[in-house]
Amino acid sequence: MVVMNRRSFMRSATAVSMGFLGLRSFDAHAQSAGDPKPGVGYGPLLPDPEGVFELPKGFSYRVISQIGQVMDDGLLVPGKPDGMAAFDGPDGLVVLIRNHEMLNVPAGMGPFGWSRERLDRIDPEKLYDAGEAGSHRPGQGGTSTVVFDQARQRVVKQFMSLAGTERNCAGGPTPWNSWITCEETLGQAGSDGRAVHHGYNFEVPVTTEPALAEPVPLRDMGRFNHEAVCVDPETGIVYQTEDRQDGIITRFLPNEPGNLRAGGRLQALCIVGHPSFDTRNWIENDAETQVGGAHTQASDEQLHGRSMPTIATNTVLDVGWIDLNDVDDLEDSLRYRAFDAGAARFARGEGMWFGQDAVYFGCTTGGLNRKGQIWRYVPSRFEGRDEERRFPGRLELFLEPNDHELVENADNLCVAPWGDLIVCEDAGRKNHLVGVTPDGDIYHLGQNVYSSSELAGSCFSPDGQTLFINIQGDGLTLAVTGPWRRGATG
- Percent of the chain at pLDDT above 90? 73
Neighbouring-strand partners of residue 252: 238, 266
Per-residue model confidence as pLDDT tens digits over 395-449 = 999 888 877 777 788 889 999 998 999 999 998 778 999 998 777 788 999 999 9
For residue 312, which of 14, 23, 10 has the smallest C-alpha distance? 23
The whole-number pLDDT of residue 237 equals: 98
| CB proximity list for 300: less than 8 A, separation 6 or greater | 284, 285, 287, 307, 308
Domain count, the chain: 1
The whole-number pLDDT of residue 181 equals: 98
- Percent of the chain at pLDDT above 70? 85
Task: Answer whether residue 196 is part of any domain.
Answer: yes
* Domain, as residue range, for 117: 69-217
CA dihedral 290, 294, 296, 300 (to 10 degrees): -10
The whole-number pLDDT of residue 486 equals: 64
Higher-scoring residue by pLDDT: 301, 220: 220
Task: Answer whether residue 228 is part of any domain.
Answer: no
Per-residue model confidence as pLDDT tens digits over 221-271 = 999 999 999 999 999 999 999 999 999 999 999 999 999 999 999 999 999
pTM (two decimals): 0.89
Task: Answer whether residue 445 is part of any domain.
Answer: no
d(CA 94, CA 443): 28
Task: Answer whether residue 235 is part of any domain.
Answer: no
Task: Answer whether residue 259 is part of any domain.
Answer: no
The whole-number pLDDT of residue 38 equals: 56
Are 354 and 236 in contact by the 8 Å Cβ rule? The answer is: no
Averaged pLDDT for residues 208-216: 97
Are 146 and 65 in contact by the 8 Å Cβ rule? The answer is: yes
Q: Taking all residues of the chain, what is their mean pLDDT, rounded to a whole number?
A: 86
Averaging pLDDT over each range in 89-93, 290-294, 437-441, which range is the top one? 89-93
The whole-number pLDDT of residue 242 equals: 98
Alpha-carbon radius of gyration of the chain: 22
Q: In the 8-state DSSP scheme, what is residue 247? A: B
d(CA 376, CA 316): 10
Averaged pLDDT for residues 13-24: 27
Averaged pLDDT for residues 138-154: 96
Task: Answer whether residue 97 is part of any domain.
Answer: yes
> What are the strands of the beta sheet with 316-323, ordered from one edge?
226-231, 238-242, 250-254, 264-271, 316-323, 394-399, 373-378, 358-363, 349-355
* 185-189, 320-324, 369-373, 438-442: segment of lowest average pLDDT: 438-442
Does position 91 have pLDDT exceeding 80, yes or no?
yes
Q: Checking DSSP bridges between strand 81-88 and strand 94-100, what pairing results, if any?
A: antiparallel
| CB proximity list for 459: less than 8 A, separation 6 or greater | 84, 85, 86, 96, 414, 467, 468
Task: Answer whether residue 176 is part of any domain.
Answer: yes
The whole-number pLDDT of residue 403 equals: 74
Does position 371 have pLDDT exceeding 60, yes or no?
yes
Q: In the 8-state DSSP scheme, what is residue 221? A: G
Task: Answer whether residue 14 is part of any domain.
Answer: no
Are 33 and 463 in contact by the 8 Å Cβ rule? The answer is: no
d(CA 277, CA 271): 7
- Angstrom CA distances, 267 to 47, 144, 276, stand at 47, 30, 14
Element (H, E) at 442: strand 441-448
